[in-house]
Structure 1
Amino acid sequence: MTNDEVEGDREALDLLIRGFQVSRMLRLVADLGLADKISPAGRKGDCP
Structure 2
Amino acid sequence: MDGNGLLGSLDSKPYRFTHLLQTEGENQKEEIVRGGTTWRKKISTMPFSI
TM-score by length of 1: 0.28
Counting strand residues as a fraction of each chain, which structure ranks higher?
A: 2
Instruction: Tell me which structure has the larger Cα radius of gyration.
Output: 1
Counting helix residues as a fraction of each chain, which structure ranks higher?
A: 1
